[in-house]
Amino acid sequence: MTSHRLPIRVYFEDTDAGGVVYHASYLRFAERARTEALRDAGAPHAQLQATHGMIFVVRRIKMDYLRPAILDSLLVVQTESLAIGGASITLRQRFWDGAELLAQMEVVLVCIHQASLRPARIPPRWRAILTPATPGAAEGE
Amino acid sequence: MTSHRLPIRVYFEDTDAGGVVYHASYLRFAERARTEALRDAGAPHAQLQATHGMIFVVRRIKMDYLRPAILDSLLVVQTESLAIGGASITLRQRFWDGAELLAQMEVVLVCIHQASLRPARIPPRWRAILTPATPGAAEGE
Amino acid sequence: MTSHRLPIRVYFEDTDAGGVVYHASYLRFAERARTEALRDAGAPHAQLQATHGMIFVVRRIKMDYLRPAILDSLLVVQTESLAIGGASITLRQRFWDGAELLAQMEVVLVCIHQASLRPARIPPRWRAILTPATPGAAEGE
Amino acid sequence: MTSHRLPIRVYFEDTDAGGVVYHASYLRFAERARTEALRDAGAPHAQLQATHGMIFVVRRIKMDYLRPAILDSLLVVQTESLAIGGASITLRQRFWDGAELLAQMEVVLVCIHQASLRPARIPPRWRAILTPATPGAAEGE
């Protein structure tokens, strides 16, 4: 997967009484971006479920909050693959306001059989999409 | 059902950049209160589903916002039955901060078969609980 | 204001364990649509605040839920003005999945001075935008 | 701070169409628990703000999801201090369903002046509360 970018507008629902975007809202934004990254690559998660009975679930998140985002901002969520294993992938997702990096996340997703909840080998089509473009470069950045 | 009261603390997650509780948060609070009202009456919704394959779904909401609620407030959600039909109930839910009424809601719930999604006659046990204590009084208040 | 349409994709964050869109999520969608309707008309709410120290707050909501919406649906929120008063407006917001009407809402907003929290006469620019296109027709529909 | 425990009931609002608790909901639960831990220790965050003009903001989160939580569960969020610095603290928050560990989080909070947004030395009263009970033991667990 090459870098995917999704613009996201900040609404009142995303903010809190501190006047900025609530810290948990970034996880919602990140999931929208992952969903659209797969859809744009022609392999939406609904198809993974319909064809293989599999889904991706979140296994681990590391999130760094650098600068606050405010109401009405038009953020961009940038999604890149860092690594892929048999049943898991590691993505980096960065949250930009123009050229300013607001937050950065690493998320590990595991592919599981929905019936058994057991880890499942990522099918070839999704594997092709989710393999890092230039693994060394991405991780070493 | 006599009047049921559930205390609810306001956290950052419930507020928005306006500095007050986000208007959609009241619907979340109201559902917590309905859930606990049934549980406290000994007839939790999980039992309605397990025993009868039925669930209550929200059909209509009328909500009046009177005063804003702020962070750290300890609200009370008061839930009363206003009317009951074959497959539906009308509840009034009021949101208090001490003696101040912050918001008031009327919600119509419909009992449906989960498989068919068709309206279903409310089973006797839930009917007994959800029948207004003194219907005329409650509605005429 | 003529009819405004905003497409909204349904993500996991918007759904609940019932498998459909959580009933409070429609209020979030509706607010996004109101925000974009004003922005598209060239009079964003941030400008109302910056220029006049005024904001719109939700005073009353009537919501009818007709059909459930599901994950991955691409909904359209249609926003129309029904009526305008000195300090308040009434909008109708409808939620479509293709040609299917999923839910319908009437919302009354009040324009207030942010400092005093008192109702304020809607400034001419917003009044022009928010006046119903053909009031009688819209209300009599 | 010794270990603090907050019970949290899972409602529909917390779940998603996957049938389990939405992954971002844990961050909301964690913040409720931090808020109550400070309140129960007699040093609520509102007081930190009123007395010192300071607030805690989330700087970093590491979250491990081990098992899904389901509707109606009564979770317990356990909050412990792992480390304290001049302007920051590291907490561990664990999410239990009975004896089952569902998720585990490490969160770094930074104390900042609300006016300048610059890091501020944690005042003595909060420092006393947030110092790990037995730092070595907690971190080495």
pLDDT of residue D1: 73
Place of tokens 């009564």: D74
| Position A137 confidence tier, pLDDT thresholds 50, 70, 90 | very low
- Over residues B82-130, the pLDDT tens digits come to 999 999 999 999 999 999 999 999 999 999 999 999 999 999 999 999 9
Subunits with at least 3 CB pairs below 8 A relative to chain C? A, B, D
- Cβ contact D28–A24 (<8 Å): yes
pLDDT of residue D141: 36
Q: Does D121 touch chain A (CB under 8 A)?
A: no
pLDDT of residue B126: 97
Phi, psi of A63 (to 5 degrees): -130, 130
pLDDT of residue C139: 40
> Which letter does DSSP use for residue B42 in this model?
T
Q: Does A67 touch chain D (CB under 8 A)?
A: no
Q: Does B24 touch chain C (CB under 8 A)?
A: yes
Alpha helices in chain B (DSSP H): 25-40, 45-52, 124-130, 135-140
pLDDT exceeds 50 at position D67 = yes
pLDDT exceeds 80 at position A138 = no
B-chain residue closest to A18, CA distance: B17
pLDDT of residue C137: 45
ipTM of the complex: 0.93
Taking the alpha carbons at both ends of chain B, their separation in whole angstroms is 16
Catalytic residue among B16, B64, B72, B97: B16
A33-39 mean pLDDT: 97
Taking the C-alpha atoms of residue D130 and residue D90, their distance in angstroms, rounded to an integer, is 9
Taking the C-alpha atoms of residue A104 and residue A78, their distance in angstroms, rounded to an integer, is 9
pLDDT exceeds 50 at position D128 = yes
- Cβ contact A13–C35 (<8 Å): no
Cβ contact A15:B17 at 8 Å = yes
Residue A14, both tokens: 């995303």
> What is each CA distance from B40 to A2, B45, C110, D14, in whole angstroms?
53, 11, 38, 20
Average pLDDT, chain C: 94
Domains along chain A with CATH numbers: 4-130 (3.10.129.10)
C117-132 mean pLDDT: 96
How many other C-beta atoms lie within 10 A of the C-beta of residue B84?
Answer: 19
CA dihedral A131, A133, A136, A139 (to 10 degrees): -80
C-chain residue closest to A47, CA distance: C72
| Position C2 confidence tier, pLDDT thresholds 50, 70, 90 | confident
- Over residues B31-67, the pLDDT tens digits come to 999 999 999 999 999 999 999 999 999 999 999 999 9
Q: Which residues contact C83 (CB under 8 A, 6 or more apart)?
A: C89, C90, C132, C135, C139
Taking the C-alpha atoms of residue D55 and residue D43, their distance in angstroms, rounded to an integer, is 12
- Over residues A104-113, the pLDDT tens digits come to 999 999 999 9
C24-39 mean pLDDT: 98
Tell me, yes or no, if D72 is annotated catalytic.
no
> H or E stretch including B58?
strand B54-65
- Over residues A88-106, the pLDDT tens digits come to 999 999 999 999 999 999 9
pLDDT exceeds 90 at position A1 = no
| Position B1 confidence tier, pLDDT thresholds 50, 70, 90 | confident
Phi-psi region of A122 (alpha: psi -120 to 50; beta: other; left: phi over 0): beta
Taking the C-alpha atoms of residue C7 and residue C4, their distance in angstroms, rounded to an integer, is 10
- Over residues D6-40, the pLDDT tens digits come to 999 999 999 999 999 999 999 999 999 999 999 99
**C20 contacts in chain D (CB < 8 Å):** 17
Average pLDDT, chain D: 94
Place of tokens 């681990």: A60
| Position B133 confidence tier, pLDDT thresholds 50, 70, 90 | confident
**A36 contacts in chain C (CB < 8 Å):** 9
Alpha helices in C2-122 (DSSP H): 25-40, 45-52
Subunits with at least 3 CB pairs below 8 A relative to chain A? B, C, D
D83-95 mean pLDDT: 98
pTM of the model: 0.95
A-chain residue closest to D25, CA distance: A24
pLDDT of residue C17: 94
**A118 contacts in chain D (CB < 8 Å):** none
